[in-house]
């Protein structure tokens, strides 16, 4: 059993490897009531009636953080719980390793455009104006309308061929950014991002606020081969999820499989190929940990 996106949209495979999720439903469906996503399940209406309703995820979490700052933990936990319940009905963002990013590029068969990262703009005031600074990718025919919203695509965009897209992904992997399929409730795949903590909102909100629904763990878990690992420590600083530690007694990298999101950044830096990405389902205790 895969993650909820695999179950609803995968049809037997990883959902982001199913071509139907790219060629199909390229345009946002607009529903009455303002929310643009089509939900995976019927019966989402009762969630909309709650306090959390249709408010953007970031605003709900800001309110939750404010409640916590005022010492009101009951409101904090209630808002986060209601948010998770709401978001569990739609696709979430999904961490994936570089190899799977390449498979995604091969499946897109349509426009791919690199652009600035809105999360890093909002959290760190970052500006981007060239390909080396564009860490996010928009996928699909919607990108052909980008010039209507120059502030959203501040600094311009650059369309990429499949081989250029792979080079670009490799560049961000080298720099240590986590790859993820970016979702804001849609049921088609429209974005592929290269992310970091704390700027990336799906990442931040999961790690600091328990919003487990917006960012889903990857389909793999990293594992160190202790026969190959020489304790150099290069991989330790690559982990944005806090899953990597240096184990002093063994002089090895230690990966906590319960914290690992399977992004593969540790594996791609290892000069001895001592880290392998193993499909999550092969660990009985992790098969349903998303």
* Positions that interact with another protein (CB under 8 A): 58, 62, 65-66, 68-71, 76, 121-125, 147-152, 154, 198-199, 204, 208
Are the CB atoms for 280 and 219 separated by under 8 Å?
Answer: yes
Which CB, 78 or 223, lies closer to another protein? Answer: 78
Tokens of residue 6, six digits? 């695999």
- Smallest distance from the beta carbon of 142 to another protein, in angstroms? 15
Which CB, 55 or 121, lies closer to another protein? Answer: 121
- Smallest distance from the beta carbon of 78 to another protein, in angstroms? 15
Which CB, 103 or 152, lies closer to another protein? Answer: 152
- Smallest distance from the beta carbon of 182 to another protein, in angstroms? 18
**φ/ψ of residue 236, rounded to 5:** -60, -45
Which CB, 194 or 268, lies closer to another protein? Answer: 194
- Smallest distance from the beta carbon of 10 to another protein, in angstroms? 34
What Rg do the C-alpha atoms of the chain give, in angstroms? Answer: 19
- Smallest distance from the beta carbon of 267 to another protein, in angstroms? 27
Which CB, 68 or 166, lies closer to another protein? Answer: 68
H runs (alpha helix) in the chain? 4-5, 20-23, 45-48, 57-69, 73-87, 98-108, 118-124, 162-174, 201-209, 265-269
Three-state DSSP class for 95? strand
- The whole-angstrom separation of Cα 173 and Cα 264 is 9
């Amino acid at each position: 059993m895969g993650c909820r996106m695999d179950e609803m949209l995968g049809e037997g495979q990883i959902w982001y490897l199913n071509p139907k999720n790219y060629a199909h439903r390229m345009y946002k469906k607009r529903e009455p009531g303002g929310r643009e996503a089509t939900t995976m399940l019927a019966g989402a209406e009762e969630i909309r009636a709650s306090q959390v309703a249709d408010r953007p995820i970031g605003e709900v979490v800001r309110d939750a953080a404010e409640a916590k700052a005022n010492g009101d933990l009951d409101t904090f936990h209630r808002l986060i719980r209601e948010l998770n319940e709401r978001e569990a009905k739609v696709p979430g963002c999904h961490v994936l390793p570089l190899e799977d990013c390449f498979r995604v590029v091969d499946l897109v068969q349509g426009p791919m455009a690199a652009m600035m990262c809105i999360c890093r703009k909002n959290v760190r005031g970052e500006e981007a104006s060239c390909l080396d600074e564009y860490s996010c990718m928009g996928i699909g025919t919607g990108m052909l309308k980008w010039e209507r919203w120059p502030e959203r695509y501040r600094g311009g965009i650059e369309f990429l061929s499949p081989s250029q897209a792979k080079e670009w992904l490799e560049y961000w992997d080298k720099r240590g950014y986590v790859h993820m399929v970016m979702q804001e409730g849609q049921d088609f795949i429209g974005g592929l991002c290269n992310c970091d903590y704390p700027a990336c909102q799906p990442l931040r909100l999961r790690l600091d606020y328990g919003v487990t629904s917006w960012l889903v763990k990857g389909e793999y878990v990293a594992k160190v081969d202790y026969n190959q690992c020489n304790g150099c420590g290069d991989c330790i600083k690559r982990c944005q999820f806090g899953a990597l530690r240096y184990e002093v007694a063994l002089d090895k990298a230690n990966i906590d499989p319960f914290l690992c999101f399977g992004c593969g950044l540790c594996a791609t830096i290892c000069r001895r190929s001592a880290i392998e990405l193993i499909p999550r389902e092969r660990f009985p205790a992790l098969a349903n940990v998303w």
